[in-house]
Each structure stands twice: as structure tokens, then as C-alpha cells.
């Protein structure tokens, strides 16, 4: 088993016109504004994403997101929890394990295909440690280059034991921002695939991944 990276606990929301004012009113601070390109990769028959395993290159770094327990999904009500790996050797091991093939010396040797690529402009806000809070809460306001905007409230934790309280903190911030929806809000990927890769999108819906 891998020395796994952090667990990302996240909830997406539809950002209204007042969301930045609300964030500042609640005490969040604008941390930075970033622009980056994500390119996502899979086998030609989409075996990674159908297993809820997401491999991407963000600018020059490989990143992998996958559910905490094998064969489960990262969706938890309208929130999600995913393990994140950023070390290329760990990613290669986890991806080859998912594909049931021997681990190659490099990710390049897996001959995966790009299935999505888009640029995101991100404004990142951070809440300073609050009364009774254990974790740092980050809010990202993203606009993708296919004219789509989404917000995300997220907390990174180290262990599964911390997930429950992180989920509650994320939900509480959404409540205070007035953006708590009962059902999952579509993200950039879901929207990109719906627009550009209708067949892949349909397969993921049928597999209950999206
Ligand atoms: C996990 C996942 C995907 C990979 C992209 O993850 P996401 O956090 O949505 O993207 P982004 O750009 O905000 O990454 P960050 O900078 O936060 O690391 S694409 C689809 N999923 C699964 C998924 C799902 N089934 N439902 C919801 C609401 N979100 C994600």
C-alpha cells in the first residue's frame, strides 16, 4: 500500500454575484489568483475515470485523485472526499494497480490518452483559524476557459478520522455563504465532458461516477 497523500474534503457550489462580498464579510482573505491548464488522461476505454480515478497534469506536475476505499466512489452526499497523490512514482504505481498491469518505470509508458484539457482562472480565499475549527478552510472561485464558473469549499486532512469533522466544517461554511445545496453541483470536468465528450459523459453517468 502507498504512503498516501492528503484527503481532500470538498463541496462545490454555484457562485452568485455576491459571493466575494460574503466571503470577505465572513472574514476570509483573498490569498492569490492563479491561472493553470489541466490536461486529463485515461485509457482509450476510460477505465480510470469509470473507476473514479482522475489523472491529470496541472501545468508541469502530475496529480492523481481517487476514492479513499477501493471500488467505492468519492462522492459523499453533495460533498466529496478524494485521496491526492502528487509524487509521479506513487501515481504510476496506483494507476498500474487500477489497470491490473505491472508497474512501468514511467507514466509515459502507459500510453494514456488526453481526454480533456482546459484553463482555469482561480481566485483563492482562506479563512483564518476560527473558534472551534480544527482545519484551515479554503474557498476557490474558478472560471474555466469554456465559460463555466464554479466555487469549491475545501479542507485537506491527513487521516480518515478527521473526515467527518472536515465535512461538517465545509458544510457550515457553505451554509454561512448561503450556497448549501442538497444535491451535488456539477464541476468543471462534468461540464466539460457534457459539452465536448458526450459519450464519455454518458458512460460516467451510467457508472454512477458523476
Ligand atoms: C474528482 C473528480 C474530478 C477531478 C477533478 O477534481 P475537482 O476537485 O473537481 O477539480 P479541481 O480543478 O477543482 O481540482 P483541485 O484544484 O480542487 O484539486 S472530475 C470528477 N470528479 C468526481 C466528482 C464528482 N463525482 N462529483 C463532484 C461534485 N465532484 C467531483
Interface confidence, given as ipTM, is 0.95
**In this structure, what DSSP letter does residue 154 have?**
E
Check residue 3 and give its pLDDT: 58
Check residue 115 and give its pLDDT: 98
For a ligand 1 pocket test, name from 46, 91, 189, 203 the mutation site with the most ligand atoms within 8 angstroms of its C-beta. Answer: 189
Q: Are 49 and 209 in contact (CB under 8 A)?
A: yes
Check residue 128 and give its pLDDT: 86
Could you count the other beta carbons within 10 Å of the beta carbon of residue 104? 14
Check residue 73 and give its pLDDT: 75
Q: How far is CA 74 from CA 9, 18, 134, 184, in A?
A: 9, 30, 22, 12
Q: How far is the CA of 189 from the centre of ligand 1 (A)?
A: 7
**Gap between the Cα atoms of 172 and 178, Å rounded:** 10
50 in contact with ligand 1, CB cutoff 6 A: no
**In this structure, what DSSP letter does residue 27 have?**
T
Question: Within the chain, which residues score under 50 in pLDDT?
Answer: 1
Atom of ligand 1 nearest to the CA of 154: 17
Q: How far is the CA of 187 from the centre of ligand 1 (A)?
A: 6
φ, ψ of residue 18 in degrees (nearest 5): -90, 0
Residue whose CA lies nearest to ligand 1 atom number 29: 187
Q: How far is CA 63 from CA 20, 55, 166, 171, in A?
A: 28, 6, 22, 26
For a ligand 1 pocket test, name from 39, 80, 85 the mutation site with the most ligand atoms within 8 angstroms of its C-beta. Answer: 80
Q: How far is the CA of 106 from the centre of ligand 1 (A)?
A: 25
Q: How far is CA 9 from CA 90, 120, 170, in A?
A: 21, 20, 8
152 in contact with ligand 1, CB cutoff 6 A: yes
Atom of ligand 1 nearest to the CA of 11: 28
**Gap between the Cα atoms of 35 and 144, Å rounded:** 9
Q: Are 142 and 188 in contact (CB under 8 A)?
A: yes
Q: How far is the CA of 172 from the centre of ligand 1 (A)?
A: 20
| Vertex 188 angle, CA 77 and 27, to 5° | 70
Amino acid at each position: 500500500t502507498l504512503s498516501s497523500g492528503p484527503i481532500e474534503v470538498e463541496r462545490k457550489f454555484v457562485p452568485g454575484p455576491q459571493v466575494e462580498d460574503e466571503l470577505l464579510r465572513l472574514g476570509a482573505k483573498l490569498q492569490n489568483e492563479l491561472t493553470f491548464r489541466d490536461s486529463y488522461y485515461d485509457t482509450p476505454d476510460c477505465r480510470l475515470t469509470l473507476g473514479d480515478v482522475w489523472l491529470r497534469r496541472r501545468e508541469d506536475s502530475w496529480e492523481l485523485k481517487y476514492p479513499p476505499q477501493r471500488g467505492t466512489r468519492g462522492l459523499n452526499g453533495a460533498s466529496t472526499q478524494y485521496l491526492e497523490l502528487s509524487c509521479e512514482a506513487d501515481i504510476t504505481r496506483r494507476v498500474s494497480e487500477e489497470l491490473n498491469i505491472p508497474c512501468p518505470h514511467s507514466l509515459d509508458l502507459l500510453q494514456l490518452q488526453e481526454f480533456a484539457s482546459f484553463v482555469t482562472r482561480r481566485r483563492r480565499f482562506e479563512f483564518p483559524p476560527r473558534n472551534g475549527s480544527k482545519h484551515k478552510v479554503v474557498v476557490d472561485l474558478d472560471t474555466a476557459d469554456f465559460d463555466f464558473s464554479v466555487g469549491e469549499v475545501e479542507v485537506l486532512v491527513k487521516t480518515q478520522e478527521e473526515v467527518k469533522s472536515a465535512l461538517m466544517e465545509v458544510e457550515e461554511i457553505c451554509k454561512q455563504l448561503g450556497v448549501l445545496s442538497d444535491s451535488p453541483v456539477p464541476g468543471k470536468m462534468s461540464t466539460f465532458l457534457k459539452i465536448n465528450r458526450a459519450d464519455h459523459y454518458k458512460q460516467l453517468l451510467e457508472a454512477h461516477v458523476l
